[in-house]
């Protein structure tokens, strides 16, 4: 390679800068070990260590590195198979780490994953717990209830242990254990308390919508049906006022065929009933003298 060329030197400088400035992502479960792959055989060439671009106070003891970064407690990093291993990591250990060996610098971004428990309550009195971990590795899940392993009676383990269905939702503290090799990661205790909110039930939303639609239909259709029924049973015949029309100079409007009065023939007219007041006749006999009395 021709290092006398300015273009070649510029490209080489850019490659070195990108290589040294880039950070390697590494993840670990909470309580597990974080591995910083450095491809070294010893700590003889170790120069310095930094966290979040701030230099740490370090001490080298054989194949072990004791580091104190900022206000954090001192941590041990062991050299294993060319990598520095930080054991029992916690969420506070997340961040950017830098390791300098003579003229070589490696940067790592550590992300600590904590498993979480999800709770879903059902109206029939059952519940389902799920243990969620953002990891693609093969893991083993176990459940604890009040500090002891959850018994299979009344509990159905599903999805390789990630979920457990409970027939009874008795109150208690549940903990999900995640096993990876010899390391164990535990979630924070979760108190199971189901209020059986119907809004959490998937079918309840559709039932509620159907009831609302039914009520709306009743509010609209029922008054219309009642009105139509009343119109059919009661025919209101408008009777114009002749005096009012004559006074106003308005000619009376002809009645429609439906409202024309039905004329009854004279011979079909029933004979008027003659009512005789018998009491009046008795009183009349008392008032007028009988001609035979003369």
What is the tens place of the pLDDT at every residue in 275-285? 444 544 454 44
| Closest to 58 (Cα-Cα) out of 81, 39, 84, 31 | 84
How many whole angstroms separate alpha carbon 107 and alpha carbon 31?
22
CB atoms < 10 A from the CB of 127, how many?
20
Q: Which residue has the tokens 């208690």?
A: 172
More confident residue, 135 or 184: 184
d(CA 59, CA 73): 14
CA–CA distances in Å: residue 46 to residues 17, 60, 83: 20, 8, 13
Contacts by residues 195-204 (CB-CB < 8 Å, ≥ 24 positions apart) = 195/121, 196/121, 196/122, 196/123, 196/125, 197/121, 198/123, 200/120, 200/121, 201/122, 201/123, 204/123
Which pLDDT does position 15 carry in this prediction?
A: 40
Q: Tell me how far apart the alpha carbons of residues 152 and 143 are, in angstroms, rounded to a whole number.
A: 10
Domain covering 116-199 assigned CATH 1.10.3720.10 in the classification: no
| Intervals of CATH 2.60.40.10 along the chain | 6-113, 116-199
With bands split at pLDDT 50, 70 and 90, how would you rate the model's confidence at 187? confident
Of the listed ranges 59-73, 134-148, 240-254, the one predicted with least confidence? 240-254
215 vs 201, more confident: 215
Spell out the SS3 assignment of the chain: CCCCCHHHHHHHHHHHHHHHHCEEEEEEECCCCEEEECCCCCCCCEEEEEECCEECEEEEECCEEEEECCCCCCEEEEEECCEEEECCCCHHHCEEEEEEECCEEEEEEEEEECCEEEEEECCCCCEEEEEECCCCCCCEEEEEECCEECCCCCEEEEHHHCEEEECCCCCCEEEEEEEECCEEEECCCEECCCCCCHHHCHHHHHHHHHHHHHHHHHHHHHHHHHHHHHHHHCCCCCCCCHHHHHHHCCCCCCCCCCCCCCCCCHHHCCCCCCCCCHHHHHHHHHHCCCHHHC
6-113 is a CATH 3.40.50.970 domain = no
pLDDT at 271: 52
Distance CA 236, CA 157 (A): 74
The tens digit of pLDDT for each residue in 261-273 reads 555 554 555 555 4
Examine the pLDDT at 251 and tell me if it is beyond 60: no
65-69, 137-141, 206-210, 247-251 — which is least confidently predicted?
A: 247-251
């Amino acid at each position: 390679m021709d290092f006398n060329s300015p273009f070649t030197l510029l490209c080489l400088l850019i490659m070195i800068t990108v290589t040294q400035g880039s950070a390697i992502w590494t993840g670990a479960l909470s309580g597990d070990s974080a591995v910083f792959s450095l491809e070294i055989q010893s700590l003889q060439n170790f120069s310095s260590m930094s966290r979040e671009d701030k230099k740490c106070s370090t001490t080298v003891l054989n194949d072990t590195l004791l580091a104190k970064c900022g206000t954090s407690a001192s941590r041990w990093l062991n050299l294993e198979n060319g990598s520095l291993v930080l054991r029992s990591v916690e969420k506070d250990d997340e961040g950017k780490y830098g390791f300098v060996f003579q003229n070589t610098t490696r940067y790592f971004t550590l992300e600590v994953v904590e498993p979480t428990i999800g709770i879903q309550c059902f109206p029939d009195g059952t519940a389902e717990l799920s243990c969620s971990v953002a990891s693609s590795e093969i893991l083993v899940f176990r459940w604890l209830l009040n500090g002891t392993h959850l018994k299979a009676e009344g509990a159905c383990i599903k999805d390789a242990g990630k979920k457990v269905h409970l027939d009874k939702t008795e109150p208690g503290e549940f903990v999900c254990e995640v096993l990876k090799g010899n390391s164990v990661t535990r979630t924070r205790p979760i108190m199971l308390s189901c209020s059986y909110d119907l809004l959490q039930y998937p079918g309840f939303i559709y039932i509620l919508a159907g009831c609302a639609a039914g009520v709306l239909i009743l509010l609209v259709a029922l008054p219309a049906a009642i009105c139509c029924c009343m119109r059919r049973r009661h025919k209101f015949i408008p009777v114009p006022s002749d005096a009012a029309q004559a006074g106003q100079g308005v000619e009376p409007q002809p009645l429609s065929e439906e409202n024309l009065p039905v004329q009854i023939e004279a011979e079909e007219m029933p004979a008027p009933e003659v009512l005789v007041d018998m009491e009046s006749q008795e009183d009349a006999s008392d008032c007028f003298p009988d001609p035979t009395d003369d």
